[in-house]
Structure 1
Amino acid sequence: MKKINWRNLHRDLGYFYIGLIVSFALSGIIQNHRKTWHPEKYTVSTKAVTYALPKEEALLTEDFAKDLGKKLGIEDEFRRSRVKDGKFQVSFEKNDVEFDLATGKGEISSFAKTPFINHIVELHKSNSNFWIYYSDIFAISLITIALTGTIMIKAGKFSWKQRGWKLAVAGIIFPLIFLFLLS
């Protein structure tokens, strides 16, 4: 039986998964900043509109917002509406509408998905059975890459026994600190 060459396995898995590693890393960065920057969509156009809104805030219901969207020619799925700081805000899947309650003047902002960025984010969030199994294999391969990396340097000051285990422990402790601080 042929002996496993861990160095070759480490190298070949790294080469095979380089595209996915880079895609997941970029997607992870994008996801980390999703509250301050909306990378999945960008503004395509804005259009000024005027509409006579009801004077009573209680009449600015979800049904009113859906009907208003239809009257404004917005056909995409309704998400939510609210009144905040003297503004009536309505959010649809591809459009946001905001009206000044006092003047009835408003603006429709239309959005489209950002090419490439949207695709890698969707890849990161995919729920398809095929992708789940492929991602599981990828995760196991990353574990293999990590473990084979620990045995590649046999001796010396940069070996696992001398230095590697200390860095690995630090690498485990660092995210655990954040996990406990953020929960």
Structure 2
Amino acid sequence: MKKSNWRKWNRAIHRDLGYICAGLTLIYAISGVAVNHVQDWNPNYKIERTTAFVGPVEHYAEDTDDALAREVLRRLGLPGEYKNTFRPDPETLRIFAGNRTIQVNLRTGEAAQEIVRTRPLIYQTNFLHLNHPKRLWTYFADLYAVALALLAVTGLFILRGKQGITGRGAWLTAIGILLPLFFLWLYS
């Protein structure tokens, strides 16, 4: 009678799932660190602020916002296309053009620009990690979570004896369970 070698299958499952999950784990790890520190920075976008002097814009009280916006954009050397304008007060014009917002004091000619750019790699990893695509990605992410659970369970039984789950592994597993419980207790 042939002996069932479940440890061989356990190692094979653990190894193959580990390779499959490695790339996804890196994506989730990069995004996780970025999102954990959202109070310190915007992980998705980099906002560049610049100032310029365009000179006083004459007839700003009489001209239309469209004419003023086109004149300011011309003086800044930017294309004349914009999405919208807004006047918070009679002397200030905000221009929303593409990925930038320009606020100009029409009387003094001082212009402040904010240019918003996506952070390469981090924006995309956050997009997936926070499940913005929905639909099929939700099921894929669920499969990944199941695969991680299988990795955890198969990992418990890779080693035998005092280094395995009946020895040192039991202590490390207990620490892994107790740490989140401690923080739940601490913050509740």
TM-score, length of structure 1 as denominator length: 0.68
| % identical equivalent positions | 30
Q: How does 1:1-183 map to 2 (within 5 A)?
A: 5-44=9-48, 46-48=50-52, 67-68=86-87, 71-75=93-97, 94-95=99-100, 107-127=112-132, 128-155=134-161, 157-183=162-188
1:178 Cα offset (Å): 1.6
TM-score by length of 2: 0.66
Cα displacement (A) at 1:3: 6.3
Matched AA of 1:15 = Y
Q: Which moved more, 1:6-15 or 1:146-155?
A: 146-155
What residue ranges of structure 2 are gaps of 5+ in the alignment?
A: 57-84
In 2, distance between residues paired with 1:32 and 1:49? 38
> Which structure: larger Rg?
2
Counterparts of 1:24 and 1:33 in 2: how far apart (Å)? 14
Cα RMSD (Å): 3.1
Paired positions, count: 148
Cα deviations across residues 2-23 of structure 1 (Å, max 9, x unaligned)?
8650100000001011110011
The whole-number CA distance in structure 2 between the counterparts of 1:97 and 1:44 is: 12
On the 8 A contact 1:49/1:108 being kept in 2, the answer is no
Preserved contact between residue 28 and residue 125 of structure 2 (Cα < 8 Å): yes
- CA change 1:158–1:133 in 2 (3 A) is same
- Unmatched 5+ stretches in structure 1: 52-65, 77-93
